[in-house]
Chains A and B, each alone.
Chain A
Amino acid sequence: DAGITQSPRHKVTETGTPVTLRCHQTENHRYMYWYRQDPGHGLRLIHYSYGVKDTDKGEVSDGYSVSRSKTEDFLLTLESATSSQTSVYFCAIRTEDNSPLHFGNGTRLTVT
């Protein structure tokens, strides 16, 4: 257990509403990541962070923003949710160079 908690675990929301997903870690790791997982596509990187207030885009960042004001929290916001953002969202942390990613338990988001 890498001490990663994602909240909420499940959420249903309507198209056009803003949604924020939270990833919390207890071990002060520097690197944090947000992925989405969809059938046939595997895990795709949305945004990542390499320190407080240091973030960068991944391959599917359109429609998403992130914030990291504290080491332990990495927030993912869908500014105006769309049905194409229905997915399972995973947060991950990395402890050091070349170490594997450790994933949280995921958030299942449904946009109706």
Chain B
Amino acid sequence: GQNIDQPTEMTATEGAIVQINCTYQTSGFNGLFWYQQHAGEAPTFLSYNVLDGLEEKGRFSSFLSRSKGYSYLLLKELQMKDSASYLCAVRFGSNDYKLSFGAGTTVTVRA
């Protein structure tokens, strides 16, 4: 599979901001997705980036730099319910649609 790297764990305080980084190999890049997964549940889609720049959706934003092979997911005004695993997934190639997933970053929000 493709190397997609993200930190294993992060801890932050309620109301704070947390930034989850994701790096990937740039060859064949064709889009990046972020998913949220609560313990024991299915992953749910958060955001999609294919062009450079920032995409904002309420408290969540995702940034992409294609030349650097780098993305981040920014979670603002953290709430207890944001405690979850956040998965970075990259699509490589254009002829088929296979997503390669990072191992996920577990975010713990503390009161």
Q: Is B111 interfacial (CB-CB < 8 Å)?
A: no
Report A-chain residues with C-beta under 8 Å of the C-beta of B89: 43
B101 to A42, Cβ gap below 8 A?
yes
Q: How large is the interface on B (under 10, 10 to 19, 20 to 34, 35 or more residues)?
A: 20 to 34
Known: A42-B102, A43-B101, A45-B99. A59 touches B1 (CB 8 A): yes
Tell me which of B1, B42, B48, B96 contacts A98 (CB under 8 A). Answer: B48
Report A-chain residues with C-beta under 8 Å of the C-beta of B100: 45
Report A-chain residues with C-beta under 8 Å of the C-beta of B103: 40-42
Tell me which of A41, A48, A59, A106 contacts B42 (CB under 8 A). Answer: A106
Tell me which of A35, A43, A94, A103 contacts B97 (CB under 8 A). Answer: A94
Q: Is B110 interfacial (CB-CB < 8 Å)?
A: no
Apart from the given pairs A90-B42, A106-B41, 15 other A-B contacts in the complex at a CB distance below 8 Å: A31-B97, A43-B89, A43-B101, A44-B1, A48-B98, A56-B96, A58-B98, A100-B35, A100-B45, A101-B33, A103-B43, A103-B44, A105-B41, A105-B42, A106-B42
A-B pairs with beta carbons under 8 Å apart, 16 shown: A35-B101, A42-B101, A42-B102, A42-B104, A43-B89, A43-B99, A43-B101, A44-B1, A58-B98, A94-B97, A98-B48, A98-B50, A100-B45, A100-B48, A101-B33, A106-B42
Please list the residues of chain A having a beta carbon within 8 angstroms of any beta carbon in chain B.
31, 35, 40-45, 48, 56, 58-59, 90, 94, 97-98, 100-106
